[in-house]
Structure 1
Amino acid sequence: MSDDMAGAAPAHLRVRRALLWLIFYAVIVAVIVFWPQPFFSLLDPWIRTATAGFPGLTLVRVEFAANVGMFVPLGIFLAVLLPRRRYLVAPIGFLTTVMIESVQGIFLSHRSATAADVIANTAGACVGLLIVEIIDAVRRRAYPPTR
């Protein structure tokens, strides 16, 4: 992606901004995933009420979708921070999730480590990567590099 595209910030400012947002995001995720009680238990009554009118929408499906959504920003930030090594986004997302699930399973007695969470979180990181790739492709078509 060319730095002289209309409206694009210089590369070092984009990286700094992405890094700051990544740190902010990481703190929020850490609070959610390392909270002693499952975070969804706080929202359980509301979710049950909201899903009551939708037979296919279950608490398990809502939690899975939330886990995907929670890791989309990780994929976005990593794709911005690693523009030439984007192939690392999925493995980093996977390893991050395995670490989180391991800590939950070993140290947090009221939390459970599940393969479904690993799949959902890794998928979320991949969705974030896909979003950045699509935006970059659109920008390349709109602003072809000048030589």
Structure 2
Amino acid sequence: MKSPLPWRIALVAYVIGLAIVAYWPTPVDKPIQGTLARVLKYLHAQGVPEWFDYQFIEASANVAMFVPLGILATLAMPSKAYWQLVGMGLLASICMELGQLLFITARIYSAVDLVTNTLGCVIGVSVIWLVAPRGHHSPRGPKTKIQSRFR
């Protein structure tokens, strides 16, 4: 793909989706909490370790939710450095958590969410960096290895 514009559009759409999840007035998993508790109880009775609990599932979901953000940010902004892309993920997570802290009483700010969200972004950025290594190029150069991989 010659232009990162389609990736930028996808990134904006994904960020809007993240904002909807983050600023939903109640926890988005509230409707399934009872079902999840029953499933976990059943799994534990079948020998699944106790550490596989609600907190583990929530943390894993936070990681998984931010992997696409890291992927899309890397593809949308191929000239950005690794730390800048990860920093954008951290900043998005800070905005989400701060918004919940300040404006949504039914939601709870969590430093653990900052870590898990950022870890998801790190994984997403790393996947693209491993699949399409950048090599040595000018940060402003028109042809990066990432851009040429996705043409």
**TM-fit CA distance, 1:40:** 1.8
1:28: which partner in 2? 17
CA deviations over 1:85-109 (Å, ceiling 9, x no partner): 1321111111111111011001000
Q: 1:39 aligns with which of 25, 28, 37?
A: 28
C-alpha separation in 2, matches of 1:110 and 1:124: 24
2:108: which partner in 1? 112
C-alpha separation in 1, matches of 2:96 and 2:59: 16
C-alpha separation in 2, matches of 1:93 and 1:119: 10
- What is the Cα-based RMSD across aligned positions, in Å? 1.6
2:88: which partner in 1? 92
Aligned-partner residue type, residue 72 of structure 2:
F
C-alpha separation in 2, matches of 1:135 and 1:122: 20
Aligned partners of 2:63 and 2:116 also within 8 Å: yes
2:127: which partner in 1? 131
Q: Give the TM-score, by structure 2 length.
A: 0.78
Bigger helix fraction: 1
What are the ranges of 5 or more consecutive residues in structure 2 without an aligned counterpart?
Answer: 134-144
- Say whether residues 1:69 and 2:64 are aligned partners: yes
Aligned-partner residue type, residue 109 of structure 2:
A
**TM-fit CA distance, 1:58:** 0.5
